[in-house]
Amino acid sequence: MTTAFDPVDVAGLTLANRLVMAPMTRNRATADGVPTPSMVRYYTQRASAGLIITEATQPNVVGRGYPLTPGLHTAEQIEGWRTVTDSVHAAGGKIFAQLWHGGRIGHPVLLPDGLIPVGPSAVAADQQVFTQDGMKDCVVPRELSDDEVRETIADFAVAARNAIEAGFDGVEIHGANGYLIHQFLSPASNLRTDEWGGSDEARARFAVEVTKAVAAEIGAYRTGLRISPGNPFNGMSEPEPEATYTALVEAIAPLGLAYLHACDVRDTGLLARLRKRFGGTFVLNPAADGRPAGPEELSLVEEGEADLLAYGRLFLANPDLPARLAAGGPFNEPVRESFYGGDDSGYVDYPALTG
């Protein structure tokens, strides 16, 4: 019987176990998006994960959706990430960079003068966003032109190349949770009638083309994609997501990606069908009824419902999570007040079992 603690080969990359550190925004980079020494320590502490997926990392300036998030579009950012990857690899870990564009989730105060958030259509998210000046209402984004859509696709590919230069083992494209790629997938945020919207296949095209561009740049075996069909987070609405996500998965399945990473938003039947159409390694970020996913979810690997399991809040609070899961606990409780920004308290000071 396969367990979550067994090693696994993912597109030629040998992982020590099937436990993945899920991407989690922590807002500890510099104002210029450069990783800090605290980030080096944070990721290195968690190197016993089979795979670390970093926090969301923007591929260009306008993609920044929150303060103090890292980027992969300047030489300084690449060098900063190199200190992270070198340290994680020295500790025996494997690490992918998550590439993310906030799209309409953002605010002008987060961007250089004159820039406003962009999106597939000029439709604002009905919510507020965290900024260095406090919570602010999301603004109406500027609709991307066709040329700008293509330039954004190219920016993702360049950022992927930068990630490999920075020493990452691969990248994960963030197509979930209400950010730009997800905004293109949803009929509520994508009102276009050109080749980037108007039908299920057209709404999926941006995600498909980003994935193809990144895979062409660094190799499909170093490329993963994260999705969350039907997820209402960040003001999203996808009442009937199956046709769009089927079109997406059928288009990327022939590429031979490293994995498909799905967030469980309470439609396991849809995820099972998408997994079958994908045909490759399937990473599941399981739902857990309001609590952090924990030992109870390990059976999902044993039962064959996922190849790897991604843990978020429990990895945040337990740097040695694989050992704790194997032992059945105990588990540190995450300190919610330190999730986003702040000093090292609640970031790199969670104790390991061995002290």
Dist. CA 282–CA 20, nearest whole Å = 12
Residue closest to 26 by CA, chosen among 312, 227, 261: 312
Dist. CA 349–CA 215, nearest whole Å = 37
19 DSSP β-pair partners: 309
**Quick one: tokens of 296?**
């109870």
Yes or no: say if 101 and 152 are a contact pair by the CB < 8 Å rule.
Answer: yes
Q: Is 322 helix (H, G, I), strand (E, B) or coil?
A: helix
Exposed (0-12), middle (13-18) or buried (19+): which is 38, by Cβ within 10 Å?
middle
Dist. CA 10–CA 283, nearest whole Å = 11
**Quick one: tokens of 312?**
């978020």
Give me the DSSP letters along 38-97: HHHHHHHHTTTSSEEEEEEEBSSGGG--STT--BSSSHHHHHHHHHHHHHHHHTT--EEE
Cβ-based neighbours of 117, under 8 Å, separated by 6 or more: 62, 65, 102, 103, 104, 105, 106, 107, 108, 111, 138, 139, 141, 142
CA torsion, points 251, 252, 253, 259, in degrees to nearest 10?
Answer: -160
Q: Please list the active-site residues.
A: 179
- Residue linked to tokens 């950022």: 159
Count CB-CB contacts under 10 A for residue 9.
9
**Quick one: tokens of 254?**
């022939």
Dist. CA 149–CA 180, nearest whole Å = 11
Dist. CA 65–CA 125, nearest whole Å = 13
